[in-house]
Amino acid sequence: MSLARWPLVAAVVVLAIAVTTPAAAQEVTLRVVSAFPETSIYVKRLEAWIERANQAEKGALKLTFIGGPKAIPTFEVGNAVRTGVVDLAMSTGAFYTNVFPEADALKLTEVPVAQQRKTGAYDVIARLWAQKGNMHYLARIVEHQPFHLYLNKRVDKPDLAGLKIRVTPVYRDFFTALGATVMQTAPGEVYTALERGVVDGYGWPIGGIFDNNWHERTKFRVDPGFYDAEVSLLVNLDVWKRLTPAQRDALTRQALAFEGQNDFWKTYAQDEIRRQAQAGLTVIRFEGAQGKAYLDRAYEAAWAGIVKASPEHGPKLREAFAKR
Ligand code: 173
């Protein structure tokens, strides 16, 4: 190269550095959405966390809460994270099976997320979410919340023939196996469906039915609960890769602190059971062999659904999620 070229090379190098390292601007703003309605306990806790995280990581990280399903519809949030329309989302696997069907398997983990991080299950999840969802799986912030069937008509055995039940992918295979006619809605449409008598019941975790006044339109809860409700934080993978190491550390530190508070959900489950009783909900309890058959059916139906949708990854997830 002739000497005359050197100033040009130098200029290009200087320019490249200027473009890739924003001078002193080491604070990144991430846009956050929720797939759950803003009235839900999940969003209340998300907003409180955002405030704490922004305070603690000032200069590195600024999370901006955009909103719930009015900003991006519940079942579109997964694709919004995948494509980078949003940077970070709070959602559950059942809401983004349209991105990859394995997402719904997170309800089937049999050990807490703290343990998943030790057994390698977390790495299995992280790899798959990156590969199929273009997502960095940041943290699980809801667990210890079994799902239940809530009804307005009494049943005396695990037979839902003739009943129309509101579902998401979480419950679809199980309730269908019990003979129900199922109808999928986002959480935001459950109240209206109950009010109009379009459904005779719905699936939901043990906690949260008061957040949108569903208790006013609910007569029975069926026990036992099944699976474990999962709500997680997901980051668009390209955004994640563009963060500086310090920004990544800040986000991980805050997410782990949030995840570390998951024992909250154990207490909350007990509180919500009491509150449901006070509100006049009657418990229909399948006990003994009938209870066991109900639970076996729940897990069999769900795993069959996952493995059918993903013969490649379903069995690996089952292995990784099992108690050991
Ligand atoms: O909408 C739902 O019933 C659902 O799938 C779900 C998943 C996780 C937590 C709460 C609800």
Q: Atom of ligand 1 at shortest distance to CA of 169?
A: 5
This prediction has a pTM of 0.92
pLDDT band at 124 (very low <50, low <70, confident <90, very high): very high
- Residue 44 vs residues 16, 41, 188, 235, 277: alpha-carbon distances, Å: 42, 5, 16, 20, 24
Q: How many CB atoms lie within 10 A of CB 54?
A: 16
Residue type present at position 165: I
Closest alpha carbon to 133 in 35, 30, 34, 236 = 236
What is the residue with the minimal CA distance to atom 11 of ligand 1? 204
In this structure, the residue with its CA closest to atom 3 of ligand 1 is 204
Q: Ligand 1 centre and the CA of 16: distance in Å?
A: 46
Q: Assess whether pLDDT exceeds 60 at residue 296.
A: yes
pLDDT exceeds cutoff 90 at 274: yes
> Helix, strand or coil for residue 204?
strand
Q: What is the pLDDT of residues 182-203, one digit of tens each?
A: 999 999 999 999 999 999 999 9
Distance CA 224, CA 252 (A): 35
220-245 average pLDDT score: 98
Say what the pLDDT of residue 76 is. 98
| Cβ-contact 262, 112 below 8 angstroms | yes
Residue 92 CB–ligand 1 contact under 6 Å: yes
Distance 232 CA to ligand 1 centre (A): 12
Are residues 57 and 27 in contact, defined by beta-carbon separation less than 8 angstroms?
Answer: no
CA 92 / ligand 1 centre spacing (Å): 7
Q: Can you point out the beta strands (E) in the chain?
A: 28-34, 61-67, 88-91, 135-142, 147-151, 164-167, 181-184, 201-205, 220-226, 231-236, 282-285
